[in-house]
Amino acid sequence: MYKANLNPHKDVLSRQEFRKLFGHTFKHPFTGLDYIDLYMDLAVNNNIEVVLANDPLAALSYSKDVLVATIHDRKHLKNLLLNNGGNTIIGLDELATKQGKSGGYNPEFGLLGSNLAGNNRLKLFPRDAEQFCYAVQKKLFEKTGKTVEVLVYGDGAFKDPVGKIWELADPVVAPGFTAGLMGTPNEIKMKYIADNELVGLSQEEAQRQLKQKISQKGTNLLGQNASLGTTPRQLTDLLGTLCDLMSGSGDKGTPIIHIQGYFDNYASD
């Protein structure tokens, strides 16, 4: 792109201009597909035009009616297009939100997070996931007497370091979960404590003081040096990502993931 002297922030390329510059050399690094060809193959009587741009406002040069297919910044983009002359601006989250005579629906996310399930079928993102989680929790308690926290997970929230592809193509990591999984971790940075407060102590004394600091850390470490370097995330994002990394959606068949000891820490007996 830079060798072609293109500005990725403002330049707009037609399909013909893209082919002139890059030919058919670019394929998706994982699927090996040429996505321009994939979209063009869907055309009927040449009714598809492919234009490549990173500036979403470029779409308004071709149509004032826009379907926003992005996921995580869809609300911002819809407002941006409406405020710059857009007419009918809707998102994938506004399609298939109500039950019809046939087919599925998702009242919260519409077509977001859907997957191809055949040439003429889509599998929608799960709905009623929270009710399902509580039903599973209740059944497990009846069978075992143990309270097990349950979540339904989709894509994990991570970026592949090799292909540079952002994995989270679902609207959320976990569309449903039980109450015990709400919130974020509240942790101290053990390496910071060890390097700054436990230097020179015997191994036994360092372990004792570290466990004491963990046990007495309080419920809010915001703004304290002890938490520097930690990155609090929603527990459901962390656990859902762990599950997705373990199971994927390939040959493993997306099994149930059983996690034990996640809420234990160095001070746990």
Q: Which residues pair with residue 176 across a beta bridge?
A: 152
* Confidence category of residue 231, pLDDT binned at 50, 70, 90: low
Q: What are phi and psi of 156, to 5 degrees?
A: -75, 160
- Per mean pLDDT, which of 14-23, 205-214, 241-250 is the most reliable? 14-23
Within 8 A by CB and 6+ apart from 116, the residues are: 122, 123
For the segment 51-67, the average pLDDT, to the nearest whole number, is: 96
Confidence of residue 213 (pLDDT cuts 50, 70, 90): confident
CA angle 207, 211, 215 (to 5 degrees): 170
Q: Does residue 226 surpass a pLDDT of 60?
A: no
Beta carbons within 8 Å of 168's beta carbon, 6+ residues apart: 71, 72, 155, 156, 157, 158
Amino acid at 120: N
Which SS3 state, helix, strand or coil, does residue 14 take?
Answer: strand
pLDDT higher at 163 or 140: 140
Give the pLDDT band of residue 201 (cuts 50, 70, 90).
confident
Q: What is the Cα 76 distance to its own chain's centre?
A: 17
* Residue 225: band (very low, low, confident or very high) from pLDDT cuts 50, 70, 90: low
Residues in the chain: 269
- Return the minimum-mean-pLDDT range out of 98-107, 115-124, 174-183, 230-239: 230-239
Q: Is the pLDDT of residue 204 over 60?
A: yes
In whole numbers, what is the pLDDT of the chain averaged over residues? 88
Question: DSSP states of 180-230 as a string?
Answer: GG-S------HHHHHHHHSTT--HHHHHHHHHHHHHT--S--TT-GGGTT-
Stretch 134-144: mean pLDDT? 98
What residue segments make up the domains of the chain, in order of their start? 13-123, 129-184+233-247, 190-227
Q: Is the distance from CB of 23 to CB of 4 less than 8 angstroms?
A: no
Asked if residues 40 and 47 have their Cβ atoms less than 8 Å apart, the reply is no
The pLDDT value recorded for residue 133 is 98
Residue pair 240/151 in contact by the 8 Å Cβ criterion: yes
